Amino acid sequence: MYSFKTKVRVRYAETDKMGYCYYGNYATYFEIARVEALRNLGVSYKGLEDEGTFLPVSEFNIKYLKPAYYDDELTIHVFIKEMPGVKIKFTYETYNDKDEKLNFGDTVLVFIDGESKSPKRPPEKLIKELNKYIRHE
């Protein structure tokens, strides 16, 4: 299993009238974690797109446990637990600075060829890097 952590801070504009981090922000936070996790593997979103591969989200799921508040520093843990085919699944857990789990969720993205708009296999570089972390069953 591949894992990576990144931090984000809840900005004032991201809170609601109760002072909670607005629930919709977590899609952005998960995207930040996903992009940085791939970058850590040596694969950039920009590089993928420049080479004609796009990654639209096909599924987004989240379960909220506790709220985050303005100025909280959040740690987003992102995991890739299985080798991708034409789809790749990212799993997330969000923690506050007291190490309390605030939520967990996942996204599924599809590798799409930029010209044909058809699903395609992931880049070999990504597969090679993930082979270092994920066991084949």
Q: What pTM does this model have? A: 0.94
User: Among 57, 95, 91, 89, which residue's Cα sits nearest to residue 75?
Assistant: 95
In a domain, 119, yes or no: yes
Query: How many beta carbons lie within 10 A of that of residue 11, not counting itself?
Result: 11
State the CB neighbour count (10 A cutoff) for residue 88. 20
Distance from C-alpha of 132 to C-alpha of 5, rounded to nearest angstrom: 18
- Range of the structural domain that residue 66 is part of: 2-130
Written as one string, the DSSP assignment of 51-91 is TTEE--EEEEEEEE-S--BTTPEEEEEEEE-S--SSEEEEE
- The rounded radius of gyration (Å) of the Cα atoms in the chain is 16
User: Quick check: is 93 in a domain?
Assistant: yes
Give me the number of domains the chain comprises: 1
Which residues, listed in sequence order, are joined to residue 74 by a DSSP beta bridge? Answer: 8
Residue 109: its pLDDT value, please? 98
Domain assignment of residue 137, yes or no: no
Give per-10-residue mean pLDDT for the chain (137 aa).
97 94 97 97 94 97 97 98 97 98 98 96 95 82
User: Which pLDDT score is estimated for 22?
Assistant: 96
The CATH code of the domain that includes 98 is: 3.10.129.10
The reply to whether 111 falls in a domain is yes
Q: Is residue 58 part of a domain?
A: yes
User: Is 135 contained in some domain?
Assistant: no
Residue 136, in any domain of the structure? no
Residue 108 lies in a domain: yes
pLDDT of residue 135: 78
